[in-house]
Structure 1
Amino acid sequence: MKRISRKNIVSPIGFKAAGMHCGIKYKKSDLALLISEVPASVAGVFTTNAIQAAPLLVTKEVVQQTGKMQAIIVNSGNANACTGKQGLMDALVMQQTTAEKLGIAPELVGVASTGVIGEIMKMEPVVKGIQKIQPIGELEGAIHFSQAILTTDTVTKNTAYSVMIDDKEIIIAGTAKGSGMIAPNMATMLGFMTTDANIESIHLQEALKQVTDQTFNAITVDGDTSTNDMVVIMANGLAGNNSLTPAHPDWSQFVETLHAVSQDLAKMIAKDGEGATKLIEVEVVGAISEAEARMIAKTVVGSPLVKTAVFGCDANWGRIIAAIGYSGATLDPYAITIKIGSTTVVENGEPILFSEQELLVYLKQPEVKFTVELHQGNGQGIAWGCDLTYDYVQINATYRT
């Protein structure tokens, strides 16, 4: 497996993309289209919020009922969520219009939306935009796609890796959006991945679910879980490898590559949290299980008090150990060791003298890491998040205005 320089959504064979301004937003790009030359195997994971937006319901049906996808149409600026029967009709119009433009069956088209909740979509500019948009298999198309899906993001998020399977180069690429309402178990994020690997949808779904638990479900910005969000991967098989299954000798390499793409995107989302100045990584080792290790890591990185301490460059480890305590995991308070960077601040449940000045310098870095050792078992887990700043409040206090 290696990371490749052409790290964009159309790097795998047979994919095209585009993005444009259609008129949902005032000026910025707001409509994107991703297509495969041929119908592709598809897998998806979706928000756990009980309130789910109309586009997500349409795409979920494509993934779970059809098992194939050839295109996905995406808009930003309007979530088309909590919009009732009209919202579902509008999502289906987007699906149908895209299908007619491409000359494919509607059930091969996914739909995704992101933006303000509770506002009816302005469909005239959307329909005209779909009719006008022209995907290309070049870097320019991938860049425009990644820009058009953004909301409060400050940067685009792209990555790609290659791996040799059956003497064929397989590429897995991805792009994503997300910077607020990000919490474990999916949230306001959209992730789109493409691969030219030959793999059936049932096995692609298995691989995606496995890596999602360790990547997209291991990030948090503010603890909110939204209504729209999904990660979708299309695999069109054009690389020509033998069909991948868990019994294939290169299966683990494929899963590891998919994990690398997913982890890159997840960390980019966490780092780009609304108003964020720092990426926070929490690693937990020695838990009784991997599940409990991840639970503790997500609790610590999601604590508002921990996040504000990081913003203030305050080595307040009391907030870390408090979050560990209320995580719900099995603990021995007298066996906990905590490190901030490489500096031990708690050992076997007792405070260790450390240099406040040295940790002040460390906490001013753009990325900070906390390590928690529990000495309870062999479970390990990592979670990522960001600091909580004044700008986060400002961005979300005026989101609709």
Structure 2
Amino acid sequence: MSIRYSIIIPTYNRHQQLLLTLASFETQTYPKQHFEVIVADDGSTDGTREMVEGFQASYQFNYVSHPEQRGRSAIRNLGLQHAKGLYIIFCDADFLVLPEFISTVRRYHRKYPKAVLSGIPHSWDDAYTHYYPDFSPEEKEQFRNTVSPSSLWNPEFEIAADIIPLITPEDILHHTEALSKVVFTTKVPPDTRQQFAKTDIAPWMLLVTRCVAIRRSQLTRIGGFNEQFVLYGLEDWDLGYRLHRLKIRFRSIKEVIGYHQEHPTHLRGNVFNTDNLRIMYKQYGFNDSSLNLFALVPPSEDLEKYKETLRILRRGFRSKLTRSSAVMLRRTLRIAAKKFYYQNNPLKRQRSLFRIEKKARGRKSQVAHVLREMLVKTQKLGQ
């Protein structure tokens, strides 16, 4: 039997959510003999191993683990080492896939066989599969407002000390209506979702490991994830950036193929990890404005501003009237990235910024306006 898809699910202390995700692969319309699921456990201490070992899968199933936690990159690479498929699908332990999940990915691969396929942003919606006692007060209120119309709210949730399931594996296996009662629209703003789907600027940002399919040979060629990234943040975009440098295209799957199982925000970690950004600068240097801009406009905080700044920079180089301003903007972004990386501001760098600021005065183009804005941000960087 030939394995076409290897689904790698990295996990750390998420056994309740992982159980539902594994159950959702039982419902796939894609032939079970042509895919495998690999759970890659990064040293969980919550009974994940026991749960997985007791799970009776009708599809090909493998469990690999690190004895101690080594980080999100290392555990995904461990799963990759055991994968047999032509394509790898990275799927988070809290991503509940719909029955057409693999079949939809396969349909896109027929059209784009070498492209990286992302479930983002069309599969960004959430589902309350569990109640968590450590939800923040705001998260508890949103949970109550979401589930109350379906009569799922129970006042005893307020005093619960343990995680309470709202969705069971049987609900998934038997396609009950329970899931539809707990699904709610993502908190990600519509403009941000729209920008994620656009690939004219930094298409590699579509590589979000919640749900992404990549040809295994491409991953092998670039050496998988960079294991210098131990803490949360940027390890997926770093992988996407390296694939992008190989001229590999990125496509967004326009159908909903799964739901994120909502959990307390503190479990996510720091999305914009400054230590990891320094790893990227050490790896790639300061010659790419799309990376340099991270120091001033982190995409995780303002993706619209980030992409529009790069679009303005690109348009600036296309016109003789604005090219000099575009050159100065590119130079400013490089200075900002170096200031961020080295955490200092030597006199030579200050003088360069002063000269750029002086030349930018009185210029009225959109590029010049953005240039002055980035100059201000650069001066404030690190303060």
- For normalisation by structure 2, the TM-score amounts to 0.30
- For normalisation by structure 1, the TM-score amounts to 0.29
Higher helix share: 2
Please identify the structure whose Cα radius of gyration is greater.
Answer: 2
